[in-house]
Structure 1
Amino acid sequence: MPTFRLKDGQEVAITEATTTYAQQMIDFYNIVGGETDFLSFGGNEFSREVEEYQAFIATTQQEQNSIILLATLHDEIIGIASITSSQKDRTKHVGTLGIVVSERFTGQGLGRVLMEQLIEWAASNGVTNKISLVTREDNLLAIELYEKLGFEKEGLILKDSFIHGVYYNTLVMGLFVK
């Protein structure tokens, strides 16, 4: 996997996740969950046992149509991007994309690079034909990036999230890679 220079010049390594990163990934998710309301979980709401998450990572590594990428700076996780897919014949061609970048590193081009890596991987894995993602309807910067990368709006799930007393709609987007 490649390295990438942030706009501020720092070099970020992009690697595939291994089970040794499980605790660090859980900790990262619990921190970034408190940095934004655009995720499906809040701060300290990513409650997974290390062994459970290690098993998830190991299973993902074995699947031809699933991958988890880590962006690290000096061995610190600053972003996680993944495509996870069903193993059922009827739906294994669709991968669900998730991406989280630490608030300290947003606007540095990292999200785009991770997305491009995932799209390239999906187009070449021999199984995935479509990438699907969901985001809050008002996550305009993310939606702009997704559209620049070819994702199209497919639908809206009404009042799908309830955060701080307010309901939010969820936008479903998709990209055909083959």
Structure 2
Amino acid sequence: MNLQNNDKITIRDVRFEDAAAVLSLQREVVGEGEFFIAVAAEYHKTIEEQRDQIRSIIENERETMYVADIDGQIVGLIVFSSQNRKRLSHTGSISMMIKKEYRNMGVGKLLLLKLLAWAEQHPLLEKVCLGVFSTNHRAIALYKKMGFVEEGRKVREFKLGDNEYIDDVLMYKLV
């Protein structure tokens, strides 16, 4: 597949050997401080913890992680996680990160397409959920374009500073 800038991109399953690159991407995106709950000073995940997370995802048939790879460089990722509860076994949530210089090029759409195709084929899954900062207008527009619907909002859920808050927009898509 090609992006809007003609870079060749591959969306693939995460592998154990991706741990360092995945961790680097996460630190970079969290470090921007714009659209994630964690701030850089709180983000202390180690390479071992990242490997353990990848292993756990690979071994759990109800979870998955895909990476966007351009010439061996991971520029984005999407993770689907679920709770191990009988009454929640039909649902799970996604989290997505994309390197800043690769945003608005179609990476997020390709990651979502891959994940939704997986979810639609999964025998137990019926609902894919996510939470997104109300200020992340481009992500919200993409999610809506991909069929996600806003189901609620946690008002003033995130506090950025004195009298500066952001709502958490809760969205879902039935698969």
TM-score above 0.5, yes or no: yes
Q: What's the Cα RMSD here?
A: 1.5
Q: CA deviation at 1:13?
A: 1.6
After TM superposition, give the deviation of residue 87 of structure 1 in Å.
2.2
Partners of 2:73 and 2:52 in 1: how far apart? 22
Structure 1 position 151 matched with structure 2 position 143: no
Q: Is the 8 A contact 2:11 2:110 kept in 1?
A: no
Q: Which runs of 5+ in 2 are unaligned?
A: none
- Which residue number corresponds to residue 58 of structure 2? 61
TM-score, structure 1 as length reference: 0.91
Map 1:131-146 onto structure 2 (within 5 A): 131-146=128-143
Contact 2:11 2:114 in 1 (8 A): no
Mapped contact 1:131–1:176 kept (Cα < 8 A): yes
Residue number among 129, 153, 161 corresponding to 2:126 in the alignment: 129
Residue correspondence of structure 1 range 27-42 to structure 2 within 5 A:
27-35=24-32, 37-42=34-39
Distance 1:141 1:86, change over 3 A: same
Q: Partner residue of 2:97?
A: 100
2:9 paired residue among 12, 36, 39:
12
CA distance in 2 between counterparts of 1:51 and 1:119 reads: 29
Give how far 1:41 is off.
2.3
What is the total number of aligned residue pairs between the two structures? Answer: 174
- Tell me by how many angstroms 1:46 deviates: 3.0
1:65 to partner: Cα distance: 1.6
TM-score by length of 2: 0.93
Contact 1:156–1:171 (CA<8 Å) still a contact in 2?
yes
Structure 1: distance between partners of 2:11 and 2:160: 32
For structure 1, which runs of at least 5 residues remain unmatched after alignment? Answer: none
- Checking the alignment, whether the CA contact within 8 Å between 1:135 and 1:172 is kept in structure 2 is yes
Residue 73 of structure 2 corresponds to 76
Between Structure 1 and Structure 2, the one with more helix by share is: 2
Deviation of 1:138 after TM superposition, in Å, equals 2.1
- 1:175 and 2:158 correspond: no
